A and B are shown apart, each in its own frame.
Chain A
């Protein structure tokens, strides 16, 4: 059968053409407007402008071909859906079919887009791709920049003066901060052997205590709302960092960053417990949660400030500056990591891991940023380890407490890593205790000599505490130079320049002090600062301050100044003295050969200085003598006037005592009675005869 084409059907005769008309009458005026009728629908009417505020442009997206497009989209989705629901996406393609390298994403609300910009801008996808994220509307803004150049408003120059002013003191006096009156007053003094000279003194400068930055440029004070940094000649306020309830801070060694900690501020979304700030700009660089209650500082800085790291459960996270991002974008998984620390001289981290089933405990040295393990040392039957770096990073000492197989007791070894020698050889020093006792020698303190290769150990049990000095020699041997026994000491304080040190028995040991010259291990002086709670060397190693802090002992609060040889120079009593901190010095600007030249000519310089000292001494005594003379004159004058008045009152006195003159002890000698009183002096028994 053939299909017919559609053709107009003949009109149906029965169909009535007059269907009712549904249009409005011609003169009908609509009295209901659209807004009333379907207002709510109208509001949802898509508008051309809608959605632009919620659009972001992401740049530096990898350019991929169509086969990897799906994977790329998944990655992008994963990263960007954190900020909100992505309602639309557009991946422009180039003529060759691969993506152009920039994409458009649309969120449900403008706030989400802003969030994405804030958090994803700068996100490092991989080595070659760091996202740049902007809101779409910004492009408009930048396109419409006025052609007319408007000079930006001039920011007044904040002149803080010479930030290194204290270093220019002609007498090379170092400064130190003193907190006293239980925290009400803070003062900065210039250290002069005669008497401290006040540089600045303020009431309520800090609410708790103060800290100096590592190179001495800033003084940090603590307040409820955050910390403040002060510096320059007049200690003006350089910068303020708002961190409610801040309790601890730490500076990066380069003084570029400061880390603040507050137990108050943490929320799940916004890590605020630990914040890292850029000191010069005052900007908040990054915030972190505080996961565990570990020791402060939780973030440890590398010596050059390039990296900082922290340890959490089974993880070592290393971050780099200035991006504040994880090095290589990931943390290191180190199962069981117990402790780590940076070498003070190189970008090397030392960490240790305890025993795990049959894998022995080990100490690892890792080079950063390569993450190459330059040395691993296995240790057996380990109970605990402590890492002690020498100040220049020349040596690492790992104090190992072990329980040797088959014994019950704990023995202590020092594993000395020689960092400057090829392949980092390790030497072991065994701390043998009393051979009679089953207990191991308990180690009270350990400290490396700064600038040198000696270390000192305090070991034993009170009252038989011994101080041993060891020298790490170049020939592979570690020699015990000297041991002092029966010391009253619980702390070791080396001079920052090495060679000299103070053994102190602080707090419960009543402030016993021993000044030692370790070049020949002699005791230069033994002294005492009763109940001393702290010992602080000045940065040059010329002076030592011992102090009794009000925080640990409520009477006799004072700080005493000694020479490095143990000669007492000053006793400074301060009402409720709390804390003294020397201002650190920045590293010397002199090149090594200039230092050598000065050391060679030291005799010449010392002559000039000695003469200057003698002059100032005699000047001091002359000043003192003059002061005394004038005080005596004043006193004499007062006494003469008083005696004159006394004379005038003689008549009255005689009357009061019935005419008896009692002005002098022998005034009324005639009235004296002589009385003989016998006193029993001695008894001697003399036997008579046989």
Chain B
């Protein structure tokens, strides 16, 4: 499969996300830029300009009306997807690490980093109440004293947020009360990414402890583990096959010896039931920071430390491939 190369960022990609229907792919990076592309051919639709610091996260609501971004410039911004106009700016005391729309698209959550004396907080805003936006007053703020939140997604019905922490813990925070409904600790090191399955019944975590794990969204039961020998930066679940894809490596500054391997950072495919690796895709010049499946499962994308995003459409063989059982 020949990949489509998206060149629109000058620094490393921090997150990529498809909209619900999959025709658009959003990419954000450390260069303060948020881009949106047509996933069918990689042509850029537009840019959301405004952030003054690295953009860490992006999300799009179910109807592809609004776009949410969080940045190191201590703001979480709401945009109109089609026109690129900034609709709201919510200032924070520290960098916004993760953000997202709930199932209905009415409630947004975002977490702020533990920085410069400020704790990590998980904030909830109801978009139906413009007063909250105007006053920059979330209806609920949950402090995280122990270990800061490094990645988070909404639960299936918008009742709770599933958050991954720096110490490897996963907690369910109620969106109504902010209390912790469930907690598990299966990973030994930082959770770098959490993504949901397309039907929101499962979540997959990617951790610095070189493994990725599959959990049930509601019960947080640990279902599967996928092991590698490198820290995993991101993982995603295929919407149509029993596959998961993982991307990793290490951030350039963490590796003390420079690797002379060109184009050899790989995305790895595992069979979700057998926990066995069955394929790899090379191409990135640096560690892969984010992976995502197209909602129809016929392609996937990866964003790397090298600033490139690659869209891969699967060959027919991919869908026929079966491990002997």
Q: Could you list which residues of chain A lie within 8 angstroms of chain B, going by C-beta atoms?
A: 510, 530-531, 553-558, 573, 621, 624-625, 628-629, 631-632, 634-636, 638, 642-643, 645-646, 649, 652-653, 656-657, 662-663, 665, 677, 679-680
Whole-angstrom distance between the alpha carbons of A636 and B105 in the complex?
A: 31
Tell whether, in the assembled complex, residue A555 and residue B255 are in contact, meaning their CB atoms are under 8 Å apart: yes
Q: Which residues of B contact A530 (CB under 8 A)?
A: 261
B:233-261 near A, CB below 8 Å: 242, 250, 255-257, 260-261
Contact (A635, B103) CB under 8 Å given A621-B324, A625-B325, A657-B62: no
Min CB distance A479 to B, Å, is 38
Q: Which residues of B contact A625 (CB under 8 A)?
A: 324-325
B116 close to A (CB within 8 Å)? no
Tell whether, in the assembled complex, residue B260 and residue A662 are in contact, meaning their CB atoms are under 8 Å apart: no
Q: Which residues of A contact B185 (CB under 8 A)?
A: none
Whole-angstrom distance between the alpha carbons of A665 and B105 in the complex?
A: 17
Query: Majority SS of interface residues in chain B?
Result: loop
Instruction: A557-B229, A628-B323, A653-B157 are known; give 4 further A-B pairs, CB within 8 A.
Output: A625-B324, A631-B273, A635-B272, A680-B43
Min CB distance B153 to A, Å, is 16
Choose one: A531, A557, A638; the contact of B223 (CB below 8 Å). A638
Tell whether, in the assembled complex, residue B201 and residue A643 are in contact, meaning their CB atoms are under 8 Å apart: yes
Q: Which residues of A contact B242 (CB under 8 A)?
A: 635
Q: Which residues of B contact A554 (CB under 8 A)?
A: 256
Q: Which residues of B contact A558 (CB under 8 A)?
A: 229
Q: Which residues of A contact B200 (CB under 8 A)?
A: 646
Contact (A652, B157) CB under 8 Å given A510-B260, A646-B201: yes
Min CB distance A170 to B, Å, is 29
B186 close to A (CB within 8 Å)? no
Min CB distance A620 to B, Å, is 12
Tell whether, in the assembled complex, residue B62 and residue A662 are in contact, meaning their CB atoms are under 8 Å apart: yes
Choose one: B20, B41, B274, B325; the contact of A662 (CB below 8 Å). B20
A-B contact pairs, 13 of them (CB 8 A): A555-B255, A635-B273, A642-B216, A645-B201, A646-B156, A646-B200, A646-B201, A652-B157, A653-B157, A656-B104, A657-B104, A665-B295, A665-B296
Please, which residue of chain A has its CB at the minimum distance from the CB of B249?
A: A555
Tell whether, in the assembled complex, residue A653 and residue B103 are in contact, meaning their CB atoms are under 8 Å apart: yes
B199 close to A (CB within 8 Å)? yes
Q: Which residues of A contact B256 (CB under 8 A)?
A: 554
B176 close to A (CB within 8 Å)? no
Whole-angstrom distance between the alpha carbons of A621 and B230 in the complex?
A: 28
Whole-angstrom distance between the alpha carbons of A634 and B223 in the complex?
A: 10
Q: Which residues of A contact B229 (CB under 8 A)?
A: 556-558, 573
Min CB distance B175 to A, Å, is 12
Whole-angstrom distance between the alpha carbons of A180 and B20 in the complex?
A: 45
Interface readout for B257-275 with A: 1 if CB under 8 Å, 0 if not? 1001100000000001111
Tell whether, in the assembled complex, residue B62 and residue A632 are in contact, meaning their CB atoms are under 8 Å apart: no
Tell whether, in the assembled complex, residue B202 and residue A631 are in contact, meaning their CB atoms are under 8 Å apart: no
B158 close to A (CB within 8 Å)? yes
Whole-angstrom distance between the alpha carbons of A557 and B158 in the complex?
A: 42
10 interchain residue pairs of minimum CB distance: A656-B104, A635-B273, A573-B229, A628-B325, A642-B201, A632-B273, A628-B274, A656-B103, A631-B273, A629-B325
Choose one: B63, B202, B296; the contact of A642 (CB below 8 Å). B202
Whole-angstrom distance between the alpha carbons of A306 and B248 in the complex?
A: 57
Min CB distance A657 to B, Å, is 6
Please, which residue of chain B has its CB at the minimum distance from the CB of A548?
A: B229
Q: Which residues of A contact B21 (CB under 8 A)?
A: 665
Q: Which residues of A contact B86 (CB under 8 A)?
A: none
Please, which residue of chain A has its CB at the minimum distance from the CB of B40?
A: A679
Q: Which residues of A contact B260 (CB under 8 A)?
A: 510
Please, which residue of chain A has its CB at the minimum distance from the CB of B323?
A: A628
B141 close to A (CB within 8 Å)? no
Q: Which residues of B contact A632 (CB under 8 A)?
A: 273-274, 325
Whole-angstrom distance between the alpha carbons of A653 and B295 in the complex?
A: 18
Tell whether, in the assembled complex, residue B202 and residue A555 are in contact, meaning their CB atoms are under 8 Å apart: no
Contact (A645, B218) CB under 8 Å given A628-B323, A652-B157, A656-B103: yes
Tell whether, in the assembled complex, residue A679 and residue B275 are in contact, meaning their CB atoms are under 8 Å apart: no
Whole-angstrom distance between the alpha carbons of A135 and B187 in the complex?
A: 70
Min CB distance B288 to A, Å, is 15
Q: Which residues of A contact B105 (CB under 8 A)?
A: 657
Tell whether, in the assembled complex, residue B273 and residue A656 are in contact, meaning their CB atoms are under 8 Å apart: no
Tell whether, in the assembled complex, residue B257 and residue A631 are in contact, meaning their CB atoms are under 8 Å apart: no
Contact (A631, B274) CB under 8 Å given A649-B156, A679-B43: yes
Whole-angstrom distance between the alpha carbons of A621 and B218 in the complex?
A: 36
Whole-angstrom distance between the alpha carbons of A625 and B325 in the complex?
A: 5
Please, which residue of chain B has its CB at the minimum distance from the CB of A658?
A: B104
Tell whether, in the assembled complex, residue B230 and residue A646 are in contact, meaning their CB atoms are under 8 Å apart: no
Whole-angstrom distance between the alpha carbons of A501 and B200 in the complex?
A: 55
Choose one: B223, B230, B273, B274; the contact of A555 (CB below 8 Å). B230
Min CB distance A650 to B, Å, is 11
Min CB distance B264 to A, Å, is 9
Whole-angstrom distance between the alpha carbons of A202 and B20 in the complex?
A: 51
Whole-angstrom distance between the alpha carbons of A679 and B274 in the complex?
A: 42
Min CB distance A628 to B, Å, is 4
Please, which residue of chain A has its CB at the minimum distance from the CB of B156?
A: A649
Contact (A646, B199) CB under 8 Å given A628-B274, A629-B325: yes
Whole-angstrom distance between the alpha carbons of A555 and B275 in the complex?
A: 23
Contact (A553, B157) CB under 8 Å given A635-B273, A657-B103: no
Whole-angstrom distance between the alpha carbons of A629 and B271 in the complex?
A: 13
Choose one: B38, B157, B223, B323; the contact of A656 (CB below 8 Å). B157
Choose one: A531, A555, A629; the contact of B250 (CB below 8 Å). A555
